[in-house]
C-alpha cells in the first residue's frame, strides 16, 4: 500500500474543489453583473425622477381601447385596462388553440388522403405558411383580405344571418339571458353524465361482454336532446341589418380580432399538421395491417388504433405549438387589436415605466405558458401507455 500522503491530489486537479469553485464563481459573476446593472438602473431612474414601484397602477389610464369583454372606461385605473388587455389576450389564445387544433388535425390527416390533388394542396399550404413570417401573414390577412371587405352600406350577407363589412363580421350568438345560462348548465351536466355512461358502457362491453345497446340508445337520446337545447333553448340572436349600414344583435367580431385569429390559426395549424403527420407516421405499419385484418373499417382503425398511439408522440410537440400561439398572439399590436401586450405598450408610453410594465408582461406570459404546459403534461399522463 502506498502511503496515504503521497496520494494526495494537488488542489487544481481535485474535481471536488473545482465543482465548488465553479459554482461559487458562477454566483459571484451573476451577482456582480446583476449589481452593476441594477446600480445603473437605479442611477438612470433617479435621474429621470422615477422610483420603482407599482403605485402607478392606481392612476387613471385615460386612453380608450377599441374592444373589451369586461367593462372598461378611460376613467378607470391602469390595472383595469391591463386586465381588459389580459382578457382580450386570453380570448384570442383560447379560441386560437381550439381552431388551430381542428385545422391542424384536418390538414395532417389530409396528407394521407387517397386524393392526389388534396395531398398536393395540403403540401402547398404547409410549405407556404411555414416559410413566410407570421407578421407578414397577419398583415396580409388584415390589410389584403379583411380590409377589402365592402363598406357597411353594401355589406356581404351569408345565409341571411352572417354579415361581413369593414365594420366587422356579425354572427348569430346566444343572447345574455338566464335561460341561456340555464341551458348551458344543463348541457355541461349532460356532458359529464354522458362521459360516465360511455365509460360504463365500455366496461360492460369489455368485462361482461354485453352488447352495450341500451347505453348506446341512452347516449343517442341525450345527444338529440342536447342538439335540441342548443338550437332552440339558447335563444340564438341573428344579427339584423340596419338601414344605417350597421348591424344589431348577435356577436360582432372586429376585423382586428378576425384577422389575428385567422392568421394565428392558419400559421400554427401548418405546424400542427406536420406534427400530426409525423405522429401518424410513427405508428408502425403492422398496426394498420393488424387492425384491418381484424375487420375494422379505416375510420375505426384511425380512431381506435392509430390515433391513440400517435397522440403519445404528438402531445409534447403540440404543447410547444400551443405555447407559441399564446406568445405569438402578442403580435396583435401590429394590427391594432388591444391585447395585453398592446395595452401594456400604451401604458409604458404614458407612464414612462418600462421596468414595471415589463415585469407585469413577464409574469403574465410566463404564467400563461406554465398553465398550458401543466395542462398538456396532465393530458400527456392520461394518454401514455399504461403498462401492466
Partner 1 sequence: MKTLENQQLSQPKITRITPKEWLQQNLFSTWYNSLLTIVLLAGISWGIYGFFKWAIAVAEWEVIKVNLPLFMVGRYPKDQYWRIWLIVGIISSFAGLSWGVIGRKAATLFTIPVLIVLGIISAISLLIPGAVPFKLLLILMVGLVVGNGWIGKQLGNKITTLGRWLSFGWFIAFLLILWLMLGGLGIKSVSTNDWGGLMLTIFMAVVSIFLSFPLGVLLALGRQSTLPVIKIFSIAYIEIFRGLPLISILFMGQIMIPLFLPEGMRPDRVLRAILGLTLFSSAYLAENVRGGLQSVPRGQIEAAKALGLNTPLVLALIVLPQALKVAIPSIVGQFISLFQDTTLLAIVGLVELLGMSRSILAQPQFLGDYAEVYLFNGILFWIICYAMSLGSRQLEKKLNTGH
Please state the closest distance from residue 32 (CB atom) to partner 1, in A: 13
Please state the closest distance from residue 192 (CB atom) to partner 1, in A: 33
Q: Tell me the Cα Rg of the chain.
A: 28
SS (H, E, C) 88-141: HHHHHHHHHHHHHHHHHHHHHHHCCCCCHHHHHHHHHHHHHHHCCCHHHHHHHH
* Cell numbers for 331: 403580435
Query: Which residue from 353, 89, 256, 363 is spatially nearest to 345, judged by alpha carbons?
Result: 353
Closer CB to partner 1, 257 or 372, in the complex = 372
Closer CB to partner 1, 147 or 181, in the complex = 147
Closer CB to partner 1, 226 or 324, in the complex = 324
Residues at the site binding partner 1, with contacts judged by CB under 8 A:
15, 19, 22-23, 26-27, 30, 37, 40-41, 43-45, 47, 114-118, 121, 127-128, 130-137, 139-140, 143-144, 147, 323, 327-331, 333-334, 341, 345, 348, 354-355, 358, 361-362, 365-366, 369-370
Closer CB to partner 1, 45 or 149, in the complex = 45
Please state the closest distance from residue 139 (CB atom) to partner 1, in A: 6
Closer CB to partner 1, 69 or 366, in the complex = 366
* Cell numbers for 386: 399504461
**Dihedral, CA atoms, 370, 375, 378, 384, nearest 10 degrees?**
-100
170 by DSSP, 3-state: which?
A: strand
Closer CB to partner 1, 31 or 220, in the complex = 31
Q: Percentage helix, strand, coil, to 5, in the chain?
A: 70, 5, 20
Q: Which residues, 6+ apart, have CB-to-CB distance to 317 below 8 Å?
A: 275, 278
Amino acid at each position: 500500500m502506498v502511503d496515504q500522503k503521497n496520494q494526495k491530489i494537488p488542489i487544481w486537479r481535485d474535481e471536488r474543489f473545482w465543482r465548488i469553485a465553479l459554482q461559487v464563481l458562477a454566483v459571484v459573476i451573476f451577482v456582480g453583473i446583476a449589481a452593476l446593472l441594477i446600480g445603473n438602473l437605479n442611477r438612470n431612474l433617479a435621474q429621470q425622477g422615477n422610483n420603482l414601484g407599482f403605485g402607478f397602477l392606481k392612476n387613471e389610464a385615460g386612453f380608450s381601447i377599441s374592444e373589451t369583454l369586461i367593462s372598461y372606461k378611460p376613467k378607470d385605473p391602469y390595472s383595469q385596462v391591463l386586465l381588459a388587455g389580459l382578457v382580450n389576450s386570453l380570448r384570442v389564445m383560447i379560441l386560437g388553440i381550439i381552431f388551430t387544433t381542428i385545422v391542424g388535425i384536418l390538414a395532417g390527416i389530409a396528407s394521407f388522403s387517397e386524393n392526389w390533388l388534396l395531398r398536393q394542396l395540403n403540401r402547398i399550404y404547409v410549405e407556404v405558411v411555414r416559410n413566410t413570417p407570421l407578421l407578414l401573414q397577419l398583415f396580409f390577412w388584415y390589410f389584403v383580405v379583411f380590409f377589402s371587405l365592402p363598406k357597411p352600406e353594401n355589406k356581404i350577407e351569408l345565409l341571411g344571418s352572417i354579415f361581413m363589412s369593414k365594420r366587422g363580421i356579425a354572427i348569430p350568438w346566444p343572447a345574455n339571458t338566464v335561460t341561456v345560462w340555464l341551458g348551458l348548465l344543463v348541457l355541461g351536466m349532460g356532458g359529464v353524465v354522458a362521459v360516465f355512461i360511455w365509460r360504463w358502457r365500455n366496461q360492460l362491453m369489455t368485462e361482461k361482454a354485453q352488447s352495450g345497446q341500451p347505453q348506446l340508445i341512452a347516449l343517442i337520446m341525450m345527444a338529440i336532446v342536447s342538439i335540441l337545447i342548443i338550437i332552440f333553448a339558447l335563444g340564438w340572436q341573428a344579427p339584423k341589418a340596419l338601414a344605417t349600414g350597421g348591424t344589431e344583435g348577435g356577436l360582432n367580431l372586429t376585423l382586428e380580432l378576425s384577422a389575428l385569429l385567422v392568421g394565428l390559426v392558419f400559421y400554427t395549424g401548418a405546424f400542427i399538421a406536420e406534427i400530426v403527420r409525423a405522429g401518424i407516421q410513427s405508428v408502425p405499419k403492422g398496426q394498420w395491417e393488424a387492425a384491418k385484418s381484424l375487420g375494422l373499417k379505416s375510420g375505426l382503425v384511425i380512431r381506435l388504433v392509430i390515433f391513440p398511439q400517435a397522440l403519445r408522440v404528438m402531445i409534447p410537440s403540440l404543447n410547444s405549438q400551443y405555447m407559441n400561439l399564446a406568445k405569438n398572439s402578442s403580435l396583435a399590436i401590429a394590427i391594432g387589436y388591444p391585447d395585453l401586450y398592446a395595452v401594456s405598450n400604451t401604458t409604458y408610453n404614458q407612464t414612462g415605466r418600462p421596468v414595471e410594465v415589463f415585469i407585469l408582461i413577464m409574469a403574465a406570459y410566463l404564467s400563461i405558458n406554465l398553465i398550458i404546459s401543466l395542462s398538456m403534461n396532465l393530458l400527456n399522463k392520461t394518454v401514455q401507455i399504461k403498462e401492466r
